[in-house]
Amino acid sequence: EDDLFMEAFNKSSLFRESCYTCKYATIARVSDCTIADFWGIGRHGKSFSHSTLKGVSLVLVNTKKGNDVFGQLQDVFVEKRTIEEALFENPNLSRPSVRHEKRNEIIKAFLDQRKSLHDINQEFEIVNTSFKARMKRLFDRLGLFSLFKTIYNFYKSKKRL
């Protein structure tokens, strides 16, 4: 249940109604720059040989003004990637979130002080409780998943060379 809120968020269960019809979730951006987490970097394009354990930011420069500001950044690591790679695991760059069929009930359950997190997960099966998923969470808590991911990414980057 430690992961319940995050899993509900990841499944688009807790978003505002406007997120499901967002007119800004499109490739044609209206901002000078778009900043997001770069989910999946290195898995769907050229390899990425840097650590992703603390996350990697995605910056889309959408206008000349954005390009001018981005060009003034100092002491930052920048690596140009394709928009296709960014779109692979960042679907909101091109379309709104898909509304979870039980969104209203899930939000109502989270707001009900009589329901425990365990009760909510039992009712809606938000967190994957399979053996594989539980082992992954355990390895993550022990730091073993990060170690495995580092070794895997290193191996994968060497294999592509």
What DSSP assignment string belongs to 99-144? Answer: PPTTHHHHHHHHH-TTS-HHHHHHHH--S--SHHHHHHHHHHHHTH
Note the pLDDT tens digit of each residue in 95-149. Answer: 999 999 999 999 999 999 999 999 999 999 898 888 988 888 788 778 777 777 7
Note the pLDDT tens digit of each residue in 19-51. Answer: 999 999 999 999 999 999 999 898 888 888 888
- Say whether pLDDT at 161 is over 60: no
**pTM of the predicted structure, to 2 decimals:** 0.72
Note the pLDDT tens digit of each residue in 51-88. Answer: 887 889 999 999 999 999 999 999 999 999 999 999 99
Taking Cα atoms as reference points, which of 121, 98, 125 lies closest to residue 110? 121
> 34 vs 10, 31, 42, 63, 112, CA distance in Å?
20, 7, 20, 10, 36
> 51 vs 54, 81, 161, CA distance in Å?
7, 16, 17
Q: Which helix (H) or strand (E) covers residue 58, if one does?
A: strand 57-61
- Say whether pLDDT at 7 is over 70: yes
Does residue 110 contact residue 14 with C-beta atoms inside 8 Å? yes
Does residue 26 contact residue 94 with C-beta atoms inside 8 Å? yes
Does residue 34 contact residue 105 with C-beta atoms inside 8 Å? no
